Amino acid sequence: MADVVGADPWERVRASFRGQAEACRRLGSPFTALFCGVMAARLDQTSGFGRRALGWPDDPTADALPLRAAGAFNALARSGTMPSLQAIYPPALASADALWSGLAAAIDAHDADLAAYLDSAPQTNEVKRCAVLLGGALIVARDTGLPLDLLEIGASAGLNLGFERYRYALGAATWGRDDAPVTIRSEWRGRLPPLDATLRVAVRRACDLNPLDPSQPADRARVLSYIWPDQADRLRTTEAAFDAASAASWRVERADAAVWVEARLAEAAAPGCARMLMHTIMWQYLPEPTKQRIRAAMAAAGAAATAERPLAWLRMEPDGKPGHAAVTLTQWPGAVERELGRADYHGRWVEWH
């Protein structure tokens, strides 16, 4: 289709920022919604950052370009190197004009660094998603009576890999030790998972294409830059999870998800354990051939599963219904698949079936 005469050549990028602004409003971040709206309306090509963003060669929404941009400026504000920018970030309440003035000054002073920050996709490692991991894992533990051999793909810094070590406030119900290093608060709707099941983790391993080390300040700062700055509880929970993961013995391996899953499933499961593959909001970023290989590897391993060596696949992923993700569990032997519930993308609420 030919371009419409006079149309904004960067409209698809501006539309992506506007769409993200609306999503941020729904997800409880008015500041990030304002940031995205200001970017959509006022960003131009007079800077390297502007040219890079407006000239984005691929799908800006699929590549999470607005969130890359939000992370770039949040990282600069958090660094303390530009007090004038920090002063208009939360908890301050800035107007659109004041915010744009601060963002424009930041571009003038740090243009190359801000443009370079767009290279990497956001990695938020949303810790509150652990609420659904706990719910699914309790079902597997109850059904099998076995400790878990955990595998996680798209694990980022591995903050969710130790989910059973956290404490949970699921509405009025609680689970976990009072002295747990992290407390997950999630609005819980519907039935509760079997909180009285004995949940033990014998083995845990994880991979990511770009794994982060929770003990490294630069990696920690990168993740925190993508946490929306007006969501204080989300920030506190993530920081506590970083402290816990930094002290843990495990680290996330660098690997392609399909190659890694095939290799792990080719190994015998830990004796007397139920193997469980888990992932949250990462499937959409995988190429279709990678997805097909993982599905095939799980189906083959499931066909060989027994009551003594069961297999489970727990995932929280979008399925086309706006505003929330499906929580799905498949268990072998038998290939029994069910939707356990729905969840807010950030884990703020869970609707359990």
264-322 per-position pLDDT tens digit: 999 988 889 999 999 999 998 899 999 999 999 999 999 999 999 999 999 999 998 98
Boundary residue ending a domain (117, 147, 162) = 117
Instruction: For residues 113 and 138, state if they share a domain.
Output: no
Q: What per-residue confidence (pLDDT) applies to 7? A: 66
Q: Is 309 strand, coil or helix?
A: coil
Q: What band does 323 get if pLDDT is binned at 50, 70 and 90?
A: confident
At which of 117, 145, 170 does a domain end? Answer: 117
Q: Number of structural domains, the chain?
A: 2
pLDDT of residue 5: 43
Question: What are the angstrom distances between the C-alpha of 271 and each of 146, 149, 275?
Answer: 10, 9, 10
User: Are 94 and 161 in a shared domain?
Assistant: no
Residues 227 and 140 both lie in one domain: yes
Q: Tell me how far apart the terminal alpha carbons of the chain are, to the nearest angstrom.
A: 46
Of the chain, the percentage scoring pLDDT greater than 90 comes to: 93
Instruction: Count CB-CB contacts under 10 A for residue 111.
Output: 17
240 and 279 share one domain:
yes
**Structural contact between residues 203 and 150, judged by C-beta atoms closer than 8 angstroms:** yes
80 and 139 housed in the same domain:
no
Residues 39 and 152 in one domain: no
217: in domain? no
Element (H, E) at 350: strand 349-352
Domain span at 94: 11-117
The more confidently predicted of residues 225 and 320 is: 225
Do 196 and 109 belong together in one domain?
no
Instruction: Provide DSSP, 182-243.
Output: -EEEEEEEEPPP-TTS---EEEEEEEESS---TTSHHHHHHHHHTS-TT-HHHHHHHHHHHH
Q: Which residues does residue 341 pair with via DSSP β-bridges, in sequence order?
A: 327, 352
